[in-house]
Amino acid sequence: MPEFISSDPDDSPTPRPARFVRPPPPALARDCALFLDIDGTLAELAQTPDAVRIDETVAQALPRLARELGGALALVTGRAITSADLLFPGLKLAMAGQHGCERRDASGAIHFHAPRKETYAKLCKLFRSLAKRHPELLIEDKGAAIALHYRAAPHLASHVHQTLRRSISDATGYTLQAGKMLLEVRPEGRDKGAAIDDFMGESPFAGRVPVFVGDDLTDEHGFATVERLGGWTIKVGVGRTMARYRLPNVGAVSSWLMAPMEDEATEASR
């Protein structure tokens, strides 16, 4: 039976107690390895993925941050890499796409975890059938993972979750992953935490203090990995989370990224 992660934004695998007030994160340090989600973290969410825009100030800051971190900066997103690249014209950053199903390392090499073609084709057919009955739903076929967005039809949330949970019970090797106003099917064993683990085993990330910034349920896997590795985890926006720090919104993320770096991460911050 595929794993099902709740769509409740206040539900996460192992959230810290509600009474725990998370402080803002310390300043980045030059011995950090920085991992950044995109939608809801570097850019405001939009009605459709194609409508998302990256603020020019943030886009210009990323190459500078990468240089100051010795190249140890990667984007970790649910988008396909080809989709994410369109948001950053002229840049070719290290990146994990589709929750780690594909990954571009710091050298530019691509690592791809191919889906099971027959099963994936059946899942695509199921998604198209559901969207045909409800045209307000938006399908995002990423290549290894497929998402169904119901932002334009929030009243269909329960129907989407119940239908997909029931329908993919025999889809061996795949799991359901909830996000903000969407439900996604992705290969088991691949998530943002697995992608960060992969990066941390490679140059120039290895040996650094990992820092991950994200806003959604899909980012909790990344938070779990970074906590295990002794790094910093930063939740953007509201909702229960296992992250130890919090920034209130995308604007606060931008301001934090623009702040001067420290020479070294302090033990107290770890």
pLDDT tens digits for 150-193? 999 999 999 999 999 987 877 888 899 999 999 999 988 899 99
**What are the Cα distances from residue 88, in Å, to 59, 65, 83?**
7, 15, 10
Residues 145 and 206 in one domain: no
Catalytic residue among 10, 11, 31, 37: 37
Residues 103 and 202 in one domain: yes
Q: Would you call 170 helix, strand, or coil by DSSP? A: coil
Mean pLDDT of the chain: 90
Residues 199 and 108 in one domain: yes
Task: Give the residue numbers spanning the domain of 77.
Answer: 32-113+190-262
Q: Cβ contacts of residue 132 below 8 Å, gap of 6+?
A: none
Segment among 55-59, 78-82, 262-266 with least mean pLDDT: 262-266
pLDDT of residue 14: 53
Residues 108 and 177 in one domain: no
- Residue 131 resides in a domain: yes
Give residue 3's pLDDT band: very low, low, confident or very high (50, 70, 90). Answer: very low
Whether 105 is catalytic is no
What's the burial of 198, exposed, middle or buried (CB within 10 Å: 0-12/13-18/19+)?
Answer: middle
pLDDT of residue 118: 87
pLDDT tens per residue across span 7-41: 333 334 455 544 468 999 999 999 999 999 999 99
Residues 99 and 128 in one domain: no
Confidence check: pLDDT of 148 > 50: yes
Q: Report the percent of the chain where pLDDT is more than 70.
A: 91
- Residue 249 resides in a domain: yes
Residue 68 near residue 48, CB atoms below 8 Å: no
Residues 209 and 105 in one domain: yes
User: Of 165, 187, 209, which residue is a domain's last?
Assistant: 187
- Residue 10 resides in a domain: no
Output the pTM of the full model: 0.87
Please write down the long-range contacts of 54-59, taking CB distance under 8 Å and 24 or more positions apart.
54/87, 54/88, 55/254, 57/254, 57/258, 58/254, 58/257, 59/88, 59/91
CATH of the domain at 223: 3.40.50.1000
The residues pairing with 73 across neighbouring beta strands, listed in sequence order, are 34
CA distance linking residue 61 with residue 91, whole number of Å: 11
Domain count, the chain: 2
pLDDT of residue 36: 98
Residues 105 and 197 in one domain: yes
CA distance linking residue 227 with residue 212, whole number of Å: 10
pLDDT of residue 167: 79
Residue written as token pair 């796409």: 97
Cβ neighbours of 11 (radius 10 Å): 15
Residues 67 and 195 in one domain: yes
User: Of 187, 202, 226, which residue is a domain's last?
Assistant: 187
